[in-house]
Amino acid sequence: MNQYTIQQIADVLNAPSQIAEPAALVEYLLTDSRRIAFPQTSLFIALQTGRNDGHLYISEVYNSGVRNFMVRKGFDTTALTGANIVFVNNTLDALQQLAAWHRKQFHYPVIGVTGSNGKTIVKEWLYQLLSPDYTIVRSPRSYNSQTGVPLSVWQMSEQHNLAILEAGISTVHEMARLQAIIQPGIGILTNIGEAHNEGFTGYREKALEKLRLFSNSQVLVYCTENLAQAGIDITGDDRHLLPAGLQLFSWSRSGNATVKLLQEEQNPAQDTTQLRVRYADTTFSFAIPFTDKASVDNAITCCCIMLYLQTGAEKIQQRMPALQAVDMRLQLMKGVNGCYLLNDAYNNDLASLTIALDHLVQQAGAHRKTVILSDIFQAGMAPAQLYRQVAAEISMRRISRFIGIGTQMQQVKHLLENMPDAPAIELYESTDAFLHKVTTHHFRDEYVLLKGARVFAFERISNWLGQKVHQTVMEINLSALVHNLKQYQQELRPGVKLMAMVKAFGYGSGSAEIAGMLQFHKVDYLAVAYADEGVELRKAGISLPILIMNVDEAAFEVLVQYNLEPELFSFGILTAFQQYVRQQGLQQYPVHIKIDTGMHRLGFELHDMEALQALLTQSTHLRVKSVFSHLASSEDPGDDAFTDLQAVRFTEACTLLQQQLGYRFIRHLSNTGGISRRHDLQFDMVRLGIGLYGIDSANNEHMNLQTVATLKTTIAQLRHVPAGDTVGYNRKGKITADSLIATIRIGYADGFGRRFSNGAGQVYINGRLAPVIGNVAMDMTMVNVTGIPGVQENDEVEIFGHQLPVQQVAAWGKTIAYEILTGIGQRVKRIYYED
Ligand SMILES: *Cc1c(COP(=O)(O)O)cnc(C)c1O
């Protein structure tokens, strides 16, 4: 483990400091106040990222026992008695500088991987392939950003003898910074696809930026076709862009290259591909357990690295067939007895355990938390130290129950027992022993994290604890949701708050799960349509303030009981609520006043203001937290004059109320379309709805959103139907030529409406679109798959999502994405994952 003194760190950074204890040791760099495992030996770095600012959490971190801080110059630290403080101009720069210096302490080979796709897979496969020969340190999951890279590099230590680090960039000038931190001697450029194109003017610019990672490397592994495609002639005109001494280690399918791929032969029955390559004077073959082109590309890249490191063809032939798929996803699914399972199929190492535990805490909220963990096999760390850290990570997160599986877990038990907030502990020798002894009654209404090394086959546990899946599922990518949140936050002026709309079951994506994620990422407010939805959120442990938009008198009791804040939109509802609050003996109950500025849906009108003020100032039972209105046409530039009129009316109403109330309230007007189009209408807060779920209602390209929801089903049956026959109810599907028809497991009861009948809608199967034939039925639909290669029963079918944008599907159905998303039936299981 690395240990520097805080004084050493201040000296490295050449930064002014205020140090109470110069010999204090720093082992861990902490950038997130929610992740404090070892306060005594952590250095908290107050990063300013996007709209969040680590400086806001310093007293919280101090109270958790941390005494080492890196803050910006001028930050007031007088309250931090006895702390060691390093002052820097920019904390991110300083973190990177510190990591770069740390990197320089080591002289073993460092592989730097970049490219648009495949970085993480190449990194993980190299880890699988080279582990028998090296003690490897690598980036956890895909920690490849401006903060992720320094934190990855910080893990390098004397115990390792090879590092594999990922670098990812989203705009120009970022790579030079990552190069200075990673300083890779061995470079890998995976490919330059379409992914993450925004932020660059073109293909070539993006490729050139990526090449900067290798500006001081000895060797670069790349595919000649990839670079040619990006318009780069690396052996000719563009050679000067790379250091003169750089060895080019290329591979190619067609042209001249260091490694030539001579032959690739897919064997679909066995799910393998046989590859034949030529390197120098030798040719040899090996098999990989995949058949897709991306996997072949990634495997050849790994093969090049092994050849460069002189691992030898024999070991390549031995190890390639054993490659394992890299499943990055952290899946959350419903289990037996009201449980949720968080299944992390990614490698079982310390870094990914830490990340998985964070997700568990984030998802579980106030629920009981159980961790099922197997022995960990981690290179470069003594077991005693490894398990000490595992125990600390578990103890700090207040886990209710710890179930250890494997012979090493005894150590964790001893350590855990002596820690504060020790969980209940159970140990089992093997997965078999566990499954033998325990019944499903052992689990009830709790969140269970499953984290096991592959040999422990935890999929047996997840199959056993998971509910049988109805084969239609909606997959929700929580990382994409957070990405979208950040995109909109970037649009906000400083100080503007954000309310996230999670009404209608989080626009169909699931309210509690989405709200948990949003709470973790510190949005200011949540809003739902009805009190019941708010109660659900409270029961799921959501503590953020929640606005209820549509209240009636029957809901008052639960509103107050669950501390939910009503929207008051009429004199009737206002006086009734005021009276209820008075009867309950409450004071200053938070409420929100809705103004109708032209939508004509709900709200007080401008001429009501005088009477409204009188009612509100008469008593102290209610407190106006916010005043708001809703735009009728925020996404449409053609209606801007009307939008402006609404804004003028809104401002006027606020001014009138403000004068009489004598205290400040939050003013908010904009929804998604308003946020991305009308920066002038942000007032004090915005209400973000559909944008969170990946759809910019104003169709602003610059928003760069990611798909959150993907609706999938499977093929139940395939049949040949001859010309002249008909398909489905009322014989509406007329077959004019002999056809192959697939029956898929989704119907109008799932939200795939009858509007998609008879070719109006299409679905995505095996890379092609298949039109609906005949009428959509309640639970099933027939689609025409004639001519689509390789279709088989049980194949996956995408209804909308990654391949088929929901906006397109909405257009086919002559409606809007809102209706499609919120119309997906409750019986469709939602599966959550993060990547
Ligand atoms: C639904 C709703 C929003 C969010 O609208 P989007 O277009 O989805 O961003 C904002 N405000 C109110 C009052 C709403 O009902």
3-state secondary structure labels for all residues of 689-705: CHHHHCCCCCCCHHHCC
Q: What is the pLDDT of residues 440-473, one digit of tens each?
A: 889 999 999 999 988 899 988 988 888 655 578 8
Rounded Cα distance, 655 and 57, in Å: 34
Residue whose Cα lies nearest atom 13 of ligand 1: it is 630
3-class state of residue 779 by DSSP: coil
> CA separation (Å) from 115 to 187, 205, 276, 679?
11, 13, 25, 34
Residue 309: what pLDDT? 97
Residue whose Cα lies nearest atom 1 of ligand 1: it is 689
Domain termination residue (choose one: 701, 726, 751): 701
pTM, two decimal places: 0.73
- Please identify every residue annotated as catalytic: 503, 729
Residue 700 sits at the vertex; the CA angle it makes with 699 and 702, to the nearest 5 degrees, is: 145
Could you tell me which residues come within 8 angstroms of residue 247 by beta carbon, excluding any fewer than 6 positions away? 218, 219, 220
Q: 338 and 318 in one domain? A: no
Q: Is residue 98 part of a domain?
A: no
Is 596 buried (19+), middle (13-18) or exposed (0-12) by CB count in 10 A? buried
Rounded Cα distance, 795 and 267, in Å: 18
Q: 370 and 435 in one domain? A: yes
Q: Which residue has the higher pLDDT, 41 or 205?
A: 41
Q: 83 and 63 in one domain? A: yes
Of 237-241, 301-305, 340-344, which has the strongest mean pLDDT? 301-305
| Pick from 79, 103, 122, 96: nearest CA to 301 | 122
The CB density around residue 56, as the number of other CB atoms within 10 Å, is 12
Q: Is residue 474 part of a domain?
A: no
Q: 219 and 265 in one domain? A: yes
Q: Which ligand 1 atom minimizes the distance to the CA of 818? A: 8
Residue 181: what pLDDT? 97
CATH code at position 289:
3.40.1190.10
Residue whose Cα lies nearest atom 4 of ligand 1: it is 689
Q: Which ligand 1 atom minimizes the distance to the CA of 507? A: 8
Which residues form the pocket of ligand 1, taking CB atoms under 6 Å from any ligand atom?
501, 549, 630, 671-673, 687-691, 697
| Pick from 140, 142, 170: nearest CA to 155 | 140
Q: What's the helix, strand, coil split of the chain in %, to 5?
A: 35, 25, 40
Rounded Cα distance, 799 and 776, in Å: 13
Q: What is the pLDDT of residues 614-670, one digit of tens each?
A: 999 988 999 999 999 999 999 999 999 999 999 999 999 999 999 999 899 999 999
Residue 193: what pLDDT? 66
Helix intervals (H) in 723-771: none
Rounded Cα distance, 764 and 774, in Å: 17
Rounded Cα distance, 409 and 654, in Å: 61
Q: Which ligand 1 atom minimizes the distance to the CA of 630? A: 13
3-class state of residue 271 by DSSP: coil
CA 543 / ligand 1 centre spacing (Å): 21
Could you tell me which residues come within 8 angstroms of residue 613 by beta carbon, excluding any fewer than 6 positions away? 656, 657, 660, 661
pLDDT(334) > 50: yes
CATH code at position 389:
3.90.190.20
Mean pLDDT of the region 228-256: 90
Rounded Cα distance, 337 and 679, in Å: 47
- Which residue type occupies 290? F
Q: 128 and 31 in one domain? A: no
Longest CA–CA span in the chain (Å) reads: 93
Rounded Cα distance, 745 and 38, in Å: 50
Rg of the chain, C-alpha, whole Å: 29
Cβ atoms of 546 and 565 within 8 Å: the answer is yes
Ligand 1 mutation target, pool 502, 671, 820, most atoms within 8 A of CB:
671
Residue 194: what pLDDT? 58
Cβ atoms of 210 and 218 within 8 Å: the answer is no
pLDDT(192) > 90: no
> CA separation (Å) from 344 to 170, 347, 390?
27, 8, 16
3-class state of residue 156 by DSSP: coil
Phi, psi of 833 (to 5 degrees): -150, 165
Q: 285 and 209 in one domain? A: yes
3-class state of residue 447 by DSSP: strand
Q: Tokens 């052996």 label which residue?
A: 235
The CB density around residue 7, as the number of other CB atoms within 10 Å, is 17
CA 601 / ligand 1 centre spacing (Å): 13
Task: Please report which confidence band the pLDDT of residue 198 belongs to, taking 50, 70 and 90 as the band edges.
Answer: low
The CB density around residue 44, as the number of other CB atoms within 10 Å, is 28
CA 562 / ligand 1 centre spacing (Å): 23
β partners of residue 501: 527
Q: 365 and 433 in one domain? A: yes
CATH code at position 10:
3.40.1390.10
Rounded Cα distance, 329 and 799, in Å: 21
Q: Is residue 101 part of a domain?
A: no
Q: Which ligand 1 atom minimizes the distance to the CA of 628? A: 13
Cβ atoms of 715 and 729 within 8 Å: the answer is no
Q: 515 and 644 in one domain? A: yes
Q: 137 and 76 in one domain? A: no
β partners of residue 370: 401, 448
- Which residue type occupies 146? Q
Sign of CA dihedral 672, 673, 676, 678: negative
CATH code at position 564:
3.20.20.10
Cβ atoms of 108 and 91 within 8 Å: the answer is no
Q: Which ligand 1 atom minimizes the distance to the CA of 503? A: 1
Helix intervals (H) in 154-202: 174-182
CA 712 / ligand 1 centre spacing (Å): 27
Of 196-210, 258-272, 766-780, which has the strongest mean pLDDT? 766-780
pLDDT(201) > 80: no
CA 637 / ligand 1 centre spacing (Å): 18
| Pick from 7, 18, 33: nearest CA to 83 | 18
> CA separation (Å) from 40 to 1, 83, 280, 370?
15, 11, 54, 27
> CA separation (Å) from 624 to 566, 616, 650, 664, 666?
10, 8, 16, 9, 9
CA 688 / ligand 1 centre spacing (Å): 7
- Helices H, strands E: what count in the chain? 26, 42
Residue 395: what pLDDT? 87
CA 128 / ligand 1 centre spacing (Å): 48
Domain termination residue (choose one: 305, 322, 339): 322
Q: 497 and 442 in one domain? A: no
Q: Is residue 386 part of a domain?
A: yes
Q: Which ligand 1 atom minimizes the distance to the CA of 499? A: 10
Domain termination residue (choose one: 90, 117, 141): 90
CA 403 / ligand 1 centre spacing (Å): 44
CA 631 / ligand 1 centre spacing (Å): 9
> CA separation (Å) from 1 to 33, 158, 349?
22, 8, 16
Q: Which ligand 1 atom minimizes the distance to the CA of 529? A: 15
Q: Is residue 96 part of a domain?
A: no
Q: Which ligand 1 atom minimizes the distance to the CA of 697? A: 7
Report the number of distinct structural domains present in the chain: 5
CA 635 / ligand 1 centre spacing (Å): 12
- Which residue type occupies 813? G
Residue whose Cα lies nearest atom 12 of ligand 1: it is 630
Q: Is residue 511 part of a domain?
A: yes
Q: 368 and 429 in one domain? A: yes
Residue 746: what pLDDT? 97
pLDDT(196) > 70: no
β partners of residue 525: 499
Report the binding-site residues for substrate.
601, 778
Q: Which domain holds residue 395?
A: 330-468
Q: How many Cα atoms within 13 Å fall on the side-chain side of residue 298?
A: 29
User: Per the structure block, which two tokens stand in for 63?
Assistant: 């109270």
Q: Is residue 418 part of a domain?
A: yes
Ligand 1 mutation target, pool 567, 687, 806, most atoms within 8 A of CB:
687
CATH code at position 761:
2.40.37.10
pLDDT(195) > 70: no
| Torsion angle defined by CA atoms of residues 152, 155, 159 and 160, in that order, rounded to the nearest 10 degrees | 0
Mean pLDDT of the region 163-182: 93
- Percent residues over pLDDT 70 in the chain: 98
The CB density around residue 189, as the number of other CB atoms within 10 Å, is 25
Ligand 1 mutation target, pool 497, 501, 819, most atoms within 8 A of CB:
501
Q: What is the pLDDT of residues 469-504, one digit of tens each?
A: 557 889 999 989 999 999 999 999 999 999 999 999
Q: Is residue 473 part of a domain?
A: no
Report the binding-site residues.
601, 778
Task: Please report which confidence band the pLDDT of residue 241 belongs to, taking 50, 70 and 90 as the band edges.
Answer: confident
Q: 354 and 278 in one domain? A: no
Q: Which residue has the higher pLDDT, 75 or 418?
A: 75
Is 583 buried (19+), middle (13-18) or exposed (0-12) by CB count in 10 A? exposed
Mean pLDDT of the chain: 92
Mean pLDDT of the region 23-38: 87
